[in-house]
Amino acid sequence: MTSTPAEDKLVFDTKWFQVAARPFAGSSEPLYVINTTDFVSIIATTTDGKMILVRQFRPAVSRKSLELPSGHVEKGETPEEAARKELLEETGYVADKFEFLATASPAIGRFTNKMWTYFVPNARPTDDPKYQVEAGVELVLFNGSVRSLMLDEEFFSTVSHSALFAALAHGRVNLDKA
């Protein structure tokens, strides 16, 4: 959770986010900011060069979406711990190395939280016999290029775009297949 200035006033509260009225210099009306937990997005690739994606129904937009694995950073967790947990829970994959690439602001005009982006090479299926697939989340091993993924109409979440673009700019993935 991002810390909030003392002058913020809580005006609406749910289990998942809070709306606060923040006094705003030069305006008689406050800015309504939305506080929620940070989250992680993960660009994970397999040893044979596939990208690990998830497909799920998103009720806020009433359609299925293809995305990078992602999830919230829970209290007491580091972002890397959250990334390891989310990759396993959503996809059943594990890896040795989780490389931090960048943070970004997912909704800069309104949300106070951050996204933490990790690149994960050489991911492999867990050998834990107790692992259970998360309900409602479909694993997709994507074998196309980064460009073709970005042009795929099912891949329409800006936070997935941002994280994948970070991996591209850092030279961890290529725009087109070699």
- Applying CB under 8 A, the site for a second copy has a residue count of 50
How remote is the C-alpha of 113 from its chain's centroid?
12
Strands 9-13 and 18-22 turn out to be: antiparallel
Q: Of the two residues 52 and 115, which places its CB atom closer to a second copy in the complex?
A: 115
Residue 141 interacts with a second copy (CB under 8 A): yes or no: no
Q: Is 100 an interacting residue with respect to a second copy (CB under 8 A)?
A: no
> Token match 């989250």: residue?
39
Among residues 1, 11, 133, 141, the one that binds a second copy under rule CB under 8 A: 11
Answer for which of 28, 60, 76, 96 binds a second copy (CB under 8 A) is: 60
Distance CA 27, CA 106 (A): 24
CA neighbor of 119 nearest in space, from 165, 66, 64, 175:
165
User: Is residue 104 part of the contact set for a second copy (CB under 8 A)?
Assistant: yes
Distance (Å, rounded) from C-alpha 26 to C-alpha 34? Answer: 20
For a second copy, give the closer residue by CB, 9 or 124. 9
CB of 170 to a second copy, least distance (A): 7
- Piece of 76-84, 87-95, 105-113, 124-132 that binds a second copy (CB under 8 A): 105-113
Q: Which two tokens stand for residue 11?
A: 């005006």
Sign of CA dihedral 111, 158, 57, 61: positive
* 33 counts as binding a second copy under rule CB under 8 A: yes
Tokens 């989340």 found at? 137
Are the C-beta atoms of residues 57 and 64 closer than 8 Å to each other?
A: yes
Binding of a second copy by 166 (CB under 8 A):
yes
Are 154 and 121 a contacting pair, CB within 8 Å? Answer: no
Q: Which stretch binds a second copy (CB under 8 A): 42-50, 59-67, 92-100, 120-128?
A: 59-67
In the complex, the residues that contact a second copy under the rule CB under 8 A are 5, 11-12, 14-17, 19, 22, 24, 29, 31-34, 58-62, 65, 67, 102-112, 115, 147, 150-151, 156-159, 161-162, 164-166, 168-170, 175
